[in-house]
A and B are shown apart, each in its own frame.
Chain A
């Protein structure tokens, strides 16, 4: 390999491979795939006794989930791959540390009221 081709620092990729963060798993423990814009929020940490039982990545996610946040924002803010975030979130949901914020209305399509709110927001952008 020519010296110019050497992978150093960031070019070498993450030191910890994604599968190491998920215990080798590539699928969510509950089989449910969280959508990109699913909103999650942490349970009250006072009720659950701190973050001692969390891995650094899980702690990072729980920290970001102190306010409702989307899966996309979590992945972007932690710089963890989307698939890793989904697997870690599924674990945290199973352990009761994180809950999924139910959509404002059942189904995939937003209500006309919310769409009008989006429209208004875009017009005043």
Chain B
């Protein structure tokens, strides 16, 4: 028997908004959501039955029969609620992005400068579905400090995309990120907006042959393999 383990919220929700929080594994998405909102669990059993085909062994993978994800809930006032949904990190849940992004007002991409390439898929996805987004660089103690302008170049972001530092552990910092996002949404929303069109799940990895991506990876120290001509301009040594 299913039990009601959470209280019924007292307010009447008359308008609900959602913001998607994306970023690589370990970038601090859950921390960010928890810093500003009441975190509640959500079970998405249906998700796995489709996504788990060929990936999760239906017998041995018992624990995956229910996918639990957390979401954050911010009560703005007595009739307005803002939801924060973190995107599932695992590759096989990427189809969930369509569901989470549909009707969202915007997205936060949480970047970790230690693995900035984790953001490429998110940037591609939100650009394709024309969902306004901000990039928040989570300032880990041991992460290299880069100028936001450099991160903008590395992620190949347009000049209009807000990019800022944040500390996902601190509510004040996360609040600033959300305020920046909503301001950005207000500034960019056209008079007659097009509904968010889902472009389908993003690729698991950015294609390595994509020139801006290669340059970006090189910028952050990822090994760029020189061609034989670059390595030995005068001819390959014997």
Contacts and interface: CB of A to CB of B under 8 A. Distances in A.
Interface residues of B, number: 58
A79 B3 contact: yes
Contacts of B222: none
Nearest to A67: B12
A54 interface: no
Interface in A66-109: 67-70, 72-73, 75-84, 86, 101, 103-104, 107-109
Contact of A117 (B4, B66, B77, B183): B77
A36 B13 contact: no
Contacts, number: 158
Contacts of B65: 13
B214 interface: no
Interface residues of A, number: 51
Interface of A: 7, 13-16, 18, 26, 35-37, 39, 56-57, 60, 63-64, 67-70, 72-73, 75-84, 86, 101, 103-104, 107-110, 112, 114-119, 121-123, 125
Closest 9 CB pairs of A and B: A83-B46, A81-B45, A121-B76, A37-B16, A109-B193, A67-B12, A108-B103, A108-B195, A81-B43
